[in-house]
Each structure stands twice: as structure tokens, then as C-alpha cells.
């Protein structure tokens, strides 16, 4: 390839300068969040406190927006929460804390798999009963009659995820979420 002098006419120089000074579009968690689940909580939302769990009984569409690892993603699923039944209470007998609410979760991309959901105070755990298995941990920070909001992270239990190209351990997925009240979900 021959080297030569770059000569620009005034019109093309302006085009090159415009392209070089235009900021690149950066994909962020806020830019991929659907309108119904923005980064900020709605104005009618209240701070979540110890009296709030009974207000969260029902069915919800849970929308999760990741902010790490990159690129951000959005996932959806169905969440059902109810007061613990006698079998749930028996399973936690003798333990220091029994759940405020129990239920189930199904990811919208895999309606075959149903996962256990338990809410204790502001902490919602979704995943298998095995504490060493991967599970999603949610912290509820706000709620209203329309739903609840907060942040989440995934725990891989005793496992880690390694990038094959760099051999670096990747950060656990994390982000923010909203759970919007819906009509009854079918199990």
C-alpha cells in the first residue's frame, strides 16, 4: 500500500472533524431500561420498612436491568408472593428467622423452570433451596400499591465465572429491578 499525503477539501474536512468530535453512544443500564422500569422509583413510592412485607402479597412481573458485567441486559419473569403456609413454617422451625413471605418465580424465557422465592425483611431470594447453588438476591428499597423496587445481584454460590479469553474472574451480575403488580399468574 502506497503512502501519500492526505489532502482534504473544506467540505470533507468539516465532515471528518464532525465525526471525530461526536461523542460515541454509550450503552448504559439506564439507556436499556424499559419505560415502565426506570432507574428512579416513582414519586408515590415509599421507603420499605418492617411493616411492608404484608403489602407485597400478590403477583408481579419482575423486570431486572443489569449494570454489570457489560453489556447491560433486561430480563423479565413472573413472581408470586404469599404468606407462608404450614409446610413453609415447619421447614423453618428451630431456625432464627422464618420468611415473611414465600412463593415462586419463573423467568419469561424459561417457563418450564420454577424457582423458590422467599422474602425476609427487605431481602428477597430467588433460586434453589441449596445455599451453595446460584441464586439471585434482591434488596427491596421502595414500594407502593403498584409494586416494589430495589437492586439485585447474583450469587454463584461456590462457583465463579471466568472469561475464557482473559482468564479473569468476571464480576457477579448485578443491577436494579422493579416488580410491577399484575393479575394472577398461572403456575
CA distance 137 to 139: 7
CATH code of the domain covering residue 151 = 2.40.128
Report the candidate in 176, 178, 177 with the shortest Cα–Cα distance to residue 67.
176
pLDDT digits (tens, 9 = 90+) for 106-156: 987 765 678 899 999 999 999 887 767 778 999 999 999 999 999 999 888
Q: What pLDDT band is residue 11 in, cutting at 50, 70 and 90?
A: very low
Does 9 map to a domain?
no
Q: Count Cβ atoms below 10 Å from residue 136 Cβ, excluding itself.
A: 23
- 120 φ, ψ to 5°? -130, 110
Q: Please indicate whether residue 51 or residue 181 has the higher confidence score (pLDDT).
A: 181
Does 67 map to a domain?
yes
Run of H or E residues at 17: helix 10-21
Confidence (pLDDT) at 5: 45
Query: Taking residues 75-91, what's their average pLDDT?
Result: 80
pLDDT digits (tens, 9 = 90+) for 18-60: 344 444 556 676 777 788 888 888 899 999 887 778 889 999 9
Q: With 60 as the cut, is the pLDDT of residue 8 above it?
A: no
Please, are residues 144 and 58 in contact by the beta-carbon 8 Å criterion? no
What is the count of structural domains for the chain?
1
| 154: containing domain | 26-181
Does 6 map to a domain?
no
Does 171 map to a domain?
yes
Q: What pLDDT band is residue 3 in, cutting at 50, 70 and 90?
A: very low
Confidence (pLDDT) at 55: 86
Per-residue DSSP letters for 69-130? SSSP-EEEEEEEEE---HHHHHHTTTSS---SEEEEEEETT-TT--EEEEEETTEEEEE-S-
Does 140 map to a domain?
yes
Amino acid at each position: 500500500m502506497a503512502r501519500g499525503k492526505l489532502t482534504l477539501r473544506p467540505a470533507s474536512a468539516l465532515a471528518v472533524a464532525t465525526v471525530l468530535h461526536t461523542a460515541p453512544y454509550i450503552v448504559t443500564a439506564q439507556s436499556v431500561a424499559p419505560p415502565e422500569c426506570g432507574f428512579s422509583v416513582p414519586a408515590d413510592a415509599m421507603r420499605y420498612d418492617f411493616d411492608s412485607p404484608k403489602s407485597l402479597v400478590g403477583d408481579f412481573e419482575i423486570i431486572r436491568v443489569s449494570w454489570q458485567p457489560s453489556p447491560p441486559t433486561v430480563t423479565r419473569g413472573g413472581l408470586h408472593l404469599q404468606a407462608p403456609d404450614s409446610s413453609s413454617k415447619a421447614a423453618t422451625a428451630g431456625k432464627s428467622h422464618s420468611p415473611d413471605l414465600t412463593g415462586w418465580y419463573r423467568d419469561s424465557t424459561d417457563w418450564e423452570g420454577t424457582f423458590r422465592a422467599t422474602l425476609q425483611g427487605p431481602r428477597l431470594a430467588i433460586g434453589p433451596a441449596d445455599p451453595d447453588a446460584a441464586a439471585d438476591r434482591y434488596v427491596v428499597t421502595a414500594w407502593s400499591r403498584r409494586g416494589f423496587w430495589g437492586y439485585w445481584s447474583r450469587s454463584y454460590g461456590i462457583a465463579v465465572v471466568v472469561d475464557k479469553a482473559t482468564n479473569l474472574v468476571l464480576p457477579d451480575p448485578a443491577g436494579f429491578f422493579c416488580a410491577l403488580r399484575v393479575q394472577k399468574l398461572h403456575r
